[in-house]
Amino acid sequence: ALTGVGGGGAMELISKTTVSSSASSVSITGLVQDAYYLVVARKIIFSTNTKLELGFLNSSGNYISTSGYISYYRSGASILTGTTNLLNCYAGGDTTGYNFFIRLSTASNQNGGYFKGTSAGTQNWCDIHFQTGTTGIYGLFIQSQSGTINTGSTFLVYKFKES
């Protein structure tokens, strides 16, 4: 028997958001600082072939629209630095079943994450880095570049727990 060894970490489901009527955007709030999250979007249904745009919310629940808030992201071979406040993630031209996950750290001055989205036969991934010393991340802002996110689209938020 081992002594002084704690149990392993775990993930706790902290929210489930299901779109009940078509919407141009979905906000997920309630993230806390100095935490690590896994956000899973299951079967996002778009009204039209479009791009998913992913942004972030401040402590008041407002969308952080500051250009350059995201200081770096890489998507495939493309690198974008210091010019955006939204991740622009192609949905693969499929209106019936896009999904993604994002791992996200909200630790002060260490905000960052990894995004991967997929639909039938396509995938998109982004490494995300934020400006240090900027507004903390307290939520996610998800929108359709055109059209709507339709009824039934589901977003799950898990928080990593230490034991």
What is the percent of the chain with per-residue pLDDT over 90, rounded to a whole number? 19
* pTM for the whole structure: 0.80
Query: How do residues 134-144 score in pLDDT, each as one tens digit?
Result: 567 888 888 88
Dump strand ranges (E) for the chain: 10-18, 25-28, 36-44, 51-57, 70-75, 78-84, 87-90, 98-105, 112-119, 122-130, 139-144, 154-161
Max mean pLDDT among 35-49, 69-83, 116-130, 134-148 falls in 35-49
